[in-house]
Amino acid sequence: MTANPLAEGIVAGRLDPAAYADHFADLHPPLDDHEALVAADRCYFCHDAPCITACPTDIDIPLFIRQIATGTPEAAAKTIFEQNILGGMCARVCPTETLCEQACVREKAEGKPVLIGQLQRYATDTLMAQGVHPFTRAAPTGKRVAVVGAGPAGLSCAHRLAMLGHDVTVFDARPKPGGLNEYGIAAYKSVDGFAEAEVNWLLKIGGITIKTGVALGRDVTLAEMQADHDAVFLGMGLGGVNALDVDGAEKAGVRDAVDFIEDLRQSKDLAQLPIGRDVVVIGGGMTAVDAAVQARLLGALNVTLVYRRGRDRMNASRFEQDLAASKGVRIITNASPVAVHGNGAVREIEFEYTDDDLKPTGQRIRLAADQVFKAIGQTLAGAGLPQVAKGKIAVTGAGRTSVKGVWAGGDCASGGDDLTVTAVAEGRDAAMDIHSALTGKG
């Protein structure tokens, strides 16, 4: 957490008490049985389905939608969980609009895809509400695996390894498991403690022990983990945050967006969260949008998101950009921060406009700000790690690192996109490779 004190004017309770529950309600209310059947009926059940190819976890989407259409959502859930054990959370946070739904034939033909994400949530929620775990453990192998990080990659890896009969210990630096799902996403995307409930449900497979408050490099070394286990999987995400390298960045009221989102996610009373009147968010990814939208929902009067490139280069999807705009967030593009102004606390932040190559144009703008959130990227943190390339752990194949017996996946590794669903896929695939290495079985 940043040590910056709150600037003057950053206060809690800007809204009427009832407004908080309304503002942070479920972004996509769940489908009821009739709505799910109607939505499923729109699927063409393509044989060579482009939606499957677009899914990082390769879920058989036409099959699970057909199972919903035939009145067996529990079977649909198992189809999903076979490929993505965190399918419930991915249904809530996955940018389906740029993945499976963008590839949907209905989207191509009509501009209105099948509601794949909401149907996935309907199926997974149905099974999870029954308290049923669809898989059982294989016979014990006697092998012990350490997993670093209880986020999407680590949990996916741990579950698959446990299902295959290995004993898994998951180490996480935070007080609670869940990683990004618990601490790093907008509260309106995962309501009613779903992240914690999903972890508890996942652990029903058995064979998984979670140890919180244990950080790699601080409390235990990689060598020590290797000595005590037959294999190690690193899925701890990115623990560092890029610095805002401009004059005045240390002023009160300037903080990391990830810390703000974490505080909000863990808050028991949103009315107690201080928020500024004039909030500026720097960045163009999902974290920036989540911070900007939630600042507005907490009662900030003016919220501006500023990104150094054009809107077409923003990592946040067009849906997320439009969501921000619909909540009253102003988006300014092609502008880079140059200075934070104020006497001890931020009062204004200055930007310089840039062209598409990030070259300064000489034109500048000052925005009033009593609170600034930095969402300009995260960095790999930790000592004694395997070979690092371009700021991430270098991996080959299914997550093999430069150190024998050590695998990595998720945001900390040089794999695919930094998405929850991608992390799940990488954790699952690494688990299968670990299993093969430990047992000689494919």
Condensed to tens digits (0 to 9), the pLDDT of residues 71-93 reads 999 999 999 999 999 999 999 99
Mean pLDDT along residues 335-359: 95
Domain boundary among 351, 376, 401: 376
Question: 44 lies in a domain?
Answer: yes
Residues 290 and 316 in one domain: yes
Q: What percent of the chain has pLDDT over 90?
A: 94
What is residue 398's predicted lDDT score, i.e. its pLDDT? 96
CA 116-117-119 angle, to 5 degrees, is 65
DSSP 6: P
Say how far apart CA 318 and CA 320 lie, in whole Å: 5
Asked if residues 51 and 62 have their Cβ atoms less than 8 Å apart, the reply is yes
Question: 28 lies in a domain?
Answer: no
Say how far apart CA 329 and CA 292 lie, in whole Å: 7
Question: 303 lies in a domain?
Answer: yes
What phi-psi label fits residue 178: left (phi over 0), alpha (psi between -120 and 50 degrees) or beta? Answer: left
Residues 264 and 354 in one domain: yes
3-state secondary structure of 106: helix
Mean pLDDT along residues 19-31: 95
Residues 251 and 372 in one domain: yes
On average, the pLDDT of the chain sits at 95
Question: 24 lies in a domain?
Answer: no
Question: 22 lies in a domain?
Answer: no
Residues 295 and 168 in one domain: no
What is residue 430's predicted lDDT score, i.e. its pLDDT? 98
Give the torsion through C-alpha atoms of 99, 392, 320, 360, to 10 deg.
-120
Say how far apart CA 184 and CA 266 lie, in whole Å: 10
List pLDDT tens digits, range 354-395. 998 899 999 999 999 999 999 999 999 888 999 999 999 999
Residues 307 and 286 in one domain: yes
Residues 248 and 371 in one domain: yes
What is residue 3's predicted lDDT score, i.e. its pLDDT? 43
- Which residues in 167-294 belong to E strands, given as ranges? 167-172, 208-212, 231-234, 240-241, 254-256, 278-282
Residues 324 and 340 in one domain: yes
Question: 64 lies in a domain?
Answer: yes
List pLDDT tens digits, range 275-314. 999 999 999 999 999 999 999 999 999 999 999 999 999 9
Residues 315 and 326 in one domain: yes
Domain boundary among 95, 129, 163: 129
Question: 96 lies in a domain?
Answer: yes
Q: Is the pLDDT of residue 4 over 80?
A: no
Residues 229 and 265 in one domain: no
Element (H, E) at 429: helix 420-439
Per mean pLDDT, which range of 231-235, 339-343, 379-383, 408-412 is the poorest?
379-383
Q: What's the total number of domains in the chain?
A: 3
What phi-psi label fits residue 71: left (phi over 0), alpha (psi between -120 and 50 degrees) or beta? Answer: left
Gyration radius from the chain CA atoms: 22
Q: Is the dihedral of CA 56, 76, 167, 214 positive or negative?
A: positive
At residue 6 the predicted structure's pLDDT band, cuts being 50, 70 and 90, is low
Question: 26 lies in a domain?
Answer: no
What is residue 417's predicted lDDT score, i.e. its pLDDT? 80
Q: Is the pLDDT of residue 1 over 60?
A: no
Residues 412 and 394 in one domain: yes
Domain range for 259: 241-376
Asked if residues 360 and 352 have their Cβ atoms less than 8 Å apart, the reply is yes
Asked if residues 169 and 224 have their Cβ atoms less than 8 Å apart, the reply is no
Q: Which of 282, 279, 285 is nearest to 244 (CA)?
A: 282
Asked if residues 291 and 385 have their Cβ atoms less than 8 Å apart, the reply is no
Return the CATH number at 117: 1.10.1060.10
Say how far apart CA 434 and CA 405 lie, in whole Å: 8
Asked if residues 284 and 309 have their Cβ atoms less than 8 Å apart, the reply is yes
Q: Is the dihedral of CA 400, 236, 287, 111 positive or negative?
A: positive
CA 406-412-413 angle, to 5 degrees, is 60
Return the CATH number at 293: 3.50.50.60
At residue 65 the predicted structure's pLDDT band, cuts being 50, 70 and 90, is very high
Structure tokens at 441: 């079985």
For residue 11, count CB atoms less than 10 angstroms from its CB and return exposed for 0-12, middle for 13-18, buried for 19 or more: middle
Distances (CA, A) of 68 to 39, 124, 129, 172, 184: 10, 11, 16, 36, 31
Asked if residues 55 and 100 have their Cβ atoms less than 8 Å apart, the reply is yes
Residues 37 and 122 in one domain: yes
Q: Is the pLDDT of residue 441 over 90?
A: no
Domain boundary among 356, 376, 396: 376
For residue 49, count CB atoms less than 10 angstroms from its CB and return exposed for 0-12, middle for 13-18, buried for 19 or more: buried
What is residue 243's predicted lDDT score, i.e. its pLDDT? 93
Q: Which of 12, 24, 5, 17 is nearest to 300 (CA)?
A: 12
The amino acid present at 305, given as its one-letter code, is L
